[in-house]
Structure 1
Amino acid sequence: MDKRRIDRDSVWRNARIPSRTNAAERDDAHAQRGAAHTPYPASRRGEEVRVYGCNACLAVFAKRLDDVRKVYLTDARIAEFKSVLAWCVKQRIGYRVVENEDLDRLTESQHHEGVCFEVRKSPPLPLRELLQRIPRDEPALLIWLDGVGNPHNVGALLRSAANFGARGAILPADAPALSGAAMRVAEGGAEAVPLAQAHAGEDVFESLHDAGFAVAATVPRAGRDLYENKLPDRLALILGAEGEGMSARLIADADLRLTVPGTGAVESLNVSASAAVLFAEYWRQHLS
């Protein structure tokens, strides 16, 4: 085995939880931080993702504990993540106390909130498996993302979807895995809303219709007024890409087209803002 690999791994195994609230505790923390400026182990490309932000990391820890591979955090987060660190020691999972600047580099962001987990990626479900999990006699809201790629929009969508009880989000066949940035913005919503991915060539409309879902396209104008129409109790909402919007084919094939009314002072809402309004109205009609 590579000698450098052995030395690097020993740093993780020897980390200890600072458990005292005196000068000795500070010395322990500084001792752990002594290796912070050595090269960090790279996350396994394609297998792991760096999740950051307090709520995102705590949601991962609560929902899929076994996927956590490494933990990085600052002094300020030790108390809040004490149970996480205790679990790391018990399970021999590496953790390091680092500086904010180290997390800036690890996450390529300044919005990490003092914590970052390296987490095994969770692959999306096949679409038909997601649909089989939803009883046919229950109202249910699904979201179908048509090329929405901005991680902040994806994260905001998942946060709103979790808040308003969406049962899942459908990703296109070629969509990449969720990024750490999207998971941070989702504030835990990425763990609450199951993700499904259509396979190449799959007829998503047929699958949804077979499961009893009506499909609605969201359009900025010329659709049915959201507030003047009863929404189907099993509804899949298509949300279009930033800039170019939804594909014409999906709009034409949808069972209905919905528009969020407004003053007309702006051309349209941001996709995540529009989604939150739509989800809230569905929740009001069927789940509140």
Structure 2
Amino acid sequence: MSDSPWKSRGPKGPPRGDRPVHREPRPTREVREQRPVHREEAPSEEHQHAREHRDSELRLYGVNAVKAAFHRRPESLRKLYLVQDRIPQLQPMLRWCVAHRVGYRVVEDEGDLRRLTGSEHHEGVVADMLREPQQTLATWLQHLHAGPACALWLDGVGNPHNVGAILRSAAHFGVSAILLPKHSNLALSGAAARVAEGGAEAVPFVRLGREDNSLAQLRGAGFALAATVVRDGKTLFEAALPQRLVYVIGAEGEGMSSSLAELCDLRVSIPGSGKVESLNVAAATAVLLAEWARRT
């Protein structure tokens, strides 16, 4: 085909299969028909996060986020959009698309990807993936390995950039799960996955049940719960941190609920100079995890 984007790449390009890919001046008709996005009102990342929570699919973007999701669960890929410059880097995905009849589109204008994601930080690739179901606490505990383990209970954290940074730190330090309260609206968003740089695929989201039951289940599995507080807690670097530990992390601004803090087994604070009240929730989480990992 004379206008194929693979023509100039010779034998190293992905196989064409029986699904031709057309290069048009602005190949956006198919994109707009699938997910209408008005040019005048590109959705914010927060709006995108809310919309994705209602959908069975998750729109991922950013090279590391997309590659990590595809590497772990390629069968979940439903649609791929990319710019010409990303073709060499994403050839395994393109070959998968051809072999499994998954639609993909090479776009010439990065503005199309910006409109699809509501973000300037798409890095030239967007993938629609099926969402992974969240595990129940009982299922997660049943399959959890023996020995040291750390989990994060997110009590109200909601900003997708903070969630993404927390996921990245959690993956780096080998956290076993992100625990979400029963009525939490938090779900993985494209913005959070991009910030996590692949970490979102390494740490599962686990949905808790009733608070009292969840606490009992965790303690029955050998976990202690540590409330992370700005003040009036044991200094993190002096506190006795159990090898099986759940850090309870409060929301941005207001922190964790006092009633939940009272139910925890210990309270820890990160000491500082006092020139600022506290660390950002994502930065604080990284410090907490680093100290736990140092001792295990």
TM-score, normalised by the number of residues in structure 2 = 0.85
The percent of aligned pairs where both chains have the same amino acid is 48
Matches within 5 A, 1:114-263: 114-135=124-145, 137-174=146-183, 175-199=185-209, 203-263=213-273
Equivalents in 2 of 1:277, 1:194: separation in Å?
Answer: 21
C-alpha distance after superposition, 1:85-139 (max 9, x if no partner): 011001110000112100000001011101000011111100111111113x410
What amino acid maps onto 2:8 in structure 1? R
> Is the contact between residue 161 and residue 189 of structure 1 (CA under 8 Å) also seen in structure 2?
yes
Residues 228, 176 of structure 1: CA spacing in aligned structure 2 closer, same or farther, 3 A cutoff? closer
Cα RMSD (Å)? 2.2
1:172 deviates by 1.7
5+ residue gaps, structure 2, are: 37-51
Alignment correspondent of 1:269: 279
Equivalents in 1 of 2:288, 2:99: separation in Å?
Answer: 45
Residue of 12, 17, 23 corresponding to 1:32: 23
1:17 deviates by 6.2
1:128 is paired with a residue whose SS is helix
Segment drifting more, 67-76 vs 126-135: 126-135
What amino acid maps onto 1:120 in structure 2? L
Residue of 105, 110, 120 corresponding to 2:115: 105
Equivalents in 2 of 1:33, 1:272: separation in Å?
Answer: 43
> Is the contact between residue 168 and residue 197 of structure 2 (CA under 8 Å) also seen in structure 1?
yes
> Is the contact between residue 181 and residue 211 of structure 2 (CA under 8 Å) also seen in structure 1?
no
TM-score, normalised by the number of residues in structure 1 = 0.87
Equivalents in 1 of 2:248, 2:211: separation in Å?
Answer: 18
Alignment correspondent of 2:40: none
C-alpha distance after superposition, 1:67-88 (max 9, x if no partner): 1100000111111001110110
Alignment correspondent of 1:20: 8
C-alpha distance after superposition, 1:126-164 (max 9, x if no partner): 0111111113x4100010000100000011001000000
Equivalents in 2 of 1:200, 1:36: separation in Å?
Answer: 49
Alignment correspondent of 1:81: 90
Alignment correspondent of 2:44: none
> Is the contact between residue 33 and residue 96 of structure 1 (CA under 8 Å) also seen in structure 2?
no
Segment drifting more, 42-51 vs 159-168: 42-51
What amino acid maps onto 2:275 in structure 1? A
> Is the contact between residue 17 and residue 86 of structure 1 (CA under 8 Å) also seen in structure 2?
no
What amino acid maps onto 1:236 in structure 2? V
1:247 deviates by 0.3
**Aligned residues, how many?**
267
